Amino acid sequence: MSSTASAARAHLFHTGSVERYRDVLTRGVERVARRVAEVDRPGTGVRPEALAPLVGGIDLDRPLGDTDAALDELHDVWLRDAVWFHHPRYLAHLNCPVVIPALLGEAVLSAVNSSLDTWDQSVGATLMERRLIDWTAGRIGLGATADGVFTSGGTQSNLQAMLLAREEAYRREVGAAAVRPARPEVLARLRVVTSTAGHFSVQKAAKLLGLAADAVLTVPTDAGRRMRTDELARTIDRCRRDGQVVMAVVATAGTTDFGTIDPLPEIADICTAAGVWLHVDAAYGCGLLVSPTRRHLLDGIERAASVTVDYHKSFFQPVSSSALLVRDGRTLRHATWHADYLNPARAAEQGIPNQVDKSLQTTRRFDAGKLWLTLRIMGPDAIGALFDRVVDLAADAWRHLDADPRFEVAAPAQLSTVVFRYVPPDAPPYLVDEANLHAREALAASGAALVAGTKVDGAHWLKLTLLNPETTVDDVLAVRDLVAEHAAWYARHATSLAPVG
Ligand SMILES: *Cc1c(COP(=O)(O)O)cnc(C)c1O
* pLDDT score at 347: 77
Distance 158 CA to ligand 1 centre (A): 8
CB of 299 closer than 8 Å to CB of 269: no
- As a whole number of angstroms, the distance between CA 252 and CA 226 comes to 9
Q: How many Cα atoms occupy the beta-carbon half-sphere of 270 within 13 Å?
A: 25
Contact 90, 468 (CB under 8 A): yes
User: Smallest Cα–Cα separation from 135: which of 147, 122, 118, 117?
Assistant: 147
Separation of CA 451 and ligand 1 centre (Å):
18
Equal fold, 106-377 vs 381-497: no
State the closest ligand 1 atom to the C-alpha of 158, by its place in the atom list counted from 1: 10
Q: Which atom of ligand 1 is nearest to the CA of 256?
A: 15
pLDDT at 332: 97
The pLDDT of residue 499: 54
Residues with Cβ < 8 Å from 249, sequence gap 6 or more? 192, 193, 194, 232, 236, 267, 270, 271, 276, 277, 278, 279
Q: What pLDDT score does 411 carry? A: 87
pLDDT the model gives residue 480: 97
Query: How far, in Å, is the centroid of ligand 1 from the Cα of 255?
Result: 9
**For ligand 1, mutation pick of 310, 322, 467 (most atoms within 8 Å of CB):** 310
d(CA 81, CA 79): 5
Using the mean position of ligand 1's atoms as its centre, give its distance from the Cα of residue 115 in Å: 24
**Ligand 1 centroid from CA 282, angstroms:** 8
Q: What is the pLDDT of residue 252?
A: 98
**Could you give the CA distance from residue 113 to residue 107 in angstroms, rounded to a whole number?**
10
Residue ranges around ligand 1 (CB below 6 Å): 94, 153-155, 158, 199, 201, 252, 254, 256, 281, 283-284, 310, 322
The one-character DSSP state at 328 is: S
Per-residue pLDDT, 496: 61
How remote is the CA of residue 202 from the centroid of ligand 1, in Å? 10
The list of the chain residues with pLDDT below 50 reads 501
Find the length of the chain: 501
| Interval 78-134: pLDDT, tens | 999 999 999 999 999 999 999 999 999 999 999 999 999 999 999 999 999 999 999
Please report the pLDDT score of residue 497 as a whole number. Answer: 57
As a whole number of angstroms, the distance between CA 129 and CA 132 comes to: 5
Nearest atom in ligand 1 to the alpha carbon of residue 253 is: 13
> Is 106 strand, coil or helix?
helix
Domain coordinates in residue numbering, the chain = 3-82, 106-377, 381-497
Probe target for ligand 1 pocket from 93, 95, 155, with the most ligand atoms within 8 Å of CB: 155
Nearest ligand 1 atom to alpha carbon 198: 13
Class of domain 381-497: alpha beta
Measured by CA distance, the residue closest to atom 10 of ligand 1 is 154
68 CA distance to ligand 1 centroid (A)?
Answer: 36
Residues 6+ apart with CB under 8 A from 264: 251, 253, 280, 298, 299, 300, 301, 303, 304
- 268, 301 contact by CB (below 8 A): no
Work out which ligand 1 atom sits closest to the CA atom of 153. Answer: 7
Measure 221 CA to ligand 1 centroid, in angstroms.
Answer: 19
Using alpha carbons, list the distances in angstroms from residue 393 to 372, 386, 440.
Answer: 28, 11, 21
Could you report the per-residue pLDDT of 130-157, keeping only the tens digit for each? Answer: 999 999 999 999 999 999 999 999 999 9
The whole-number pLDDT of residue 340 equals: 81
Pocket test for ligand 1, best of 158, 199, 262 (most atoms within 8 A of CB): 199
Q: Which residues of 437-473 are buried (b: 16+ CB within 10 A; e: fewer)?
A: bbbbebbbeebbbbbbbeebeeebbbbbbbbbbebee
pLDDT of residue 501: 44
Ligand 1 centroid, distance to 64 Cα (angstroms) = 38
The CATH class, in words, for 106-377 is alpha beta
